[in-house]
Structure 1
Amino acid sequence: MDKTTATLADAVAGIHDGATVMIGGFGGSGAPIELIHALIDKGPRGLTVINNNAGNGHVGIAAMIEQGLVAKMICSFPRSPETVAFNEAYMAGRVELELVPQGTLAERIRAAGAGIPAFYTAASYGTELAEGKSTEEFDGKHYVRERWLKADFALIKAHTGDRHGNLTYRMAGRNFNPVMAMAATRTIAQVSRLVAPGGIDPEHVVTPGIFVNAVVEVPDPVQEEILIREGAVYP
């Protein structure tokens, strides 16, 4: 029942070449920067990364791309003022992109966690993103069929966790993290505060420990935006 891991390196040790990895966060909010950097240190190649965006600056997911770990990005917002690494890799043909509307991305992940193999959404109907996908008409409106989105691993960030893997989040840091925890074969969580079982009110648990395989404590996590402002580069 004890799911704690002593080090970040131990937490990501099982992530292999060619794996599909979901990474929580909405921009820097809820992004597990320390786990991402530990994964860069390990160095698996050919990864498919699922995130809301494609990284910023030269840290986190952007650093993964610069270090050649990422073969494909599945995301909603691949470009922003700080998305230098992805832009260069994509234009050079080193990274593939699957663009998914944000609501559809969240629902595809949630569907995987709920065991729903496909669903219909009006988002993207009549656009290039719907090409090659099945469509149906319901009550006079057209919908696109979307498949669930699973992963081999999920790297997520929570505020408080116990040794059994139960998690709570801080404000907007919740974002994609809970649904990603449910949609991956193995979920690895970094937490700012690790408590004993019973240290979290059961009514406050957002992600039950059944969805979490490993927990590692990072008492003072860095914030992506601060690293970018400071001009940080990893490694």
Structure 2
Amino acid sequence: MARGRVLVTGASTGIGEATARRLVADGFEVIATARRLGRIKELGRQIGCEFCPADLTDDDSVANLMKFLALQEPLTALVNVAGGAIGVDPVAEANIDAWQAMYDKNVLGTLRLTKAVLPMLRESGGDIVFVTSVAAHEAYPGGAGYTAAKHAEAMIPQTLRLELLGEPVRVIEVAPGLVKTPEFSLNRLGDVDAAQAVYRGIDEPLLAEDIADVIAWTLTRPRHVNIDTVTVRPVAQATAALFAREGTSQGELPSDDLAAADE
């Protein structure tokens, strides 16, 4: 018998993909969703999960996902992973379109799906996990567009937890620090060399599997236990912008990497 039925967003790569894999291995039934159908279809073939493509920034796409879910057994959990960062512009040079896109992906996309799924979780009792970032709780030069979006996203679980008090829904936030994934820094910086430089000199950055492990842990606590917020960093990271790097002074962060060193 399955331990639960979980919808995982952003499942085409990185933390979302790793979470889908881990939860299936732990005995959960998983529905993977992401924009790229080919990726989640292949994931489904590999691990035996169900899948349905969706662009969470689009109302019609989310409505189609909900129609798919309506034909399935009820969900017991939603894991919100989808999001991302664009650019490292200082505030004085902010790209308004990039800020808007980050807000749409990280905040409104998360809100859109959470709002749609919430009724079924309130009815039967369930869990909602929000994968935010240390950027949701800190600031650093060149990161204002992303930190603004992540701070806003973090307000969803913090407020929802108050609004659902007394109901059988657990609201969980997992805030990763530096996680080495194939696409996060590449999508943010748009350059392979710049993306690789983010992790240069870091002794064992986190991997997507480390965050998936934490997510699985939060979902498998006894029902009376709610993991409100857990921050996860590699040992070599002290803040969103302060690292111990080989070949540099203790805590030094090269300026080219400054605004890209968080998940």
TM-score range, shorter chain: 0.3 to 0.5
Provide the TM-score with structure 2 as the length reference: 0.33
Tell me which protein shows more strand as a share of its residues: 1
- Larger relative contact order (C-alpha < 8 A, sep ≥ 6)? 1
